[in-house]
Amino acid sequence: MSLRFLSPISPAKRLKSKRLSIHSDPGGVPVTVYLSLGSNLGKRDELFAKAGLLLEGRGLRITAVSSVYRTAPEGFRWQPSFLNQVLGAETSLTPFDLLDTIRQIERKLNRIKLFPNAPRTIDIDLLFYNNQVMDTPALKLPHPRLHRRAFVLVPLAEIAPDFRHPCLGLTVREMLSSVGTGGVKLWR
């Protein structure tokens, strides 16, 4: 079964199913989150290490770290290859507070958005916030394109192969088998 033919549930149904407000608070009870790290500028492995330390210093407890993978760029092809990694973590931050934290860390590590798919020192994407579903202008959960991205699914399958996508109903392993691993090479 190919994922490109699956369509996630509509945004209206997503909001009705598990609505979170900007002020949602998981009640201080940690939730599991998965973050994707990507970089193709600078000392990429050092940037990943710095990002992990900054995340831990701002309300996350990292519980799982994938290997690092090398991939060709998508979209804008005339740029260096990317390194990609996925982190599993626990946090009591709300989804919007976590997004703000991620953006602050990207700025601290000199992320500049010149144009879509531009080279970058660091890119941190929130893939899953537990099993929450959100569709707002600022934040969409789960990440809307993760099920089509081998460079996300390969490292995610390494640390959470049985995690189930709350909209598609498929595990990470099942999503990966649908897109394949082409172009994703183990770096370290």
Domain limits at 99? Answer: 3-186
Domain harbouring 162, CATH code: 3.30.70.560
Cα four-point dihedral sign 49, 54, 57, 60: negative
The residue type found at 30 is P
Q: Six-digit token pair at 142?
A: 């789960």
Q: What are phi and psi of 155, to 5 degrees?
A: -70, -30
Domains in the chain: how many in total? 1
Q: Is the pLDDT of residue 24 over 60?
A: no
Distance CA 15, CA 10 (A): 9
Give residue-wise pLDDT tens across range 68-99: 999 988 777 777 888 999 999 999 999 999 99
The set of catalytic residues is 111, 120, 123, 125
Q: What is the pTM (predicted TM-score) of this model?
A: 0.84
Residue matched to tokens 């990292």: 62
Give residue-wise pLDDT tens across range 105-145: 999 998 877 666 667 889 999 999 999 999 999 999 999 99
Among the listed residues 49, 27, 31, the one whose alpha carbon sits nearest the alpha carbon of residue 88: 31
Distance CA 130, CA 119 (A): 29
Peptide bond into 11 cis (omega under 30): no
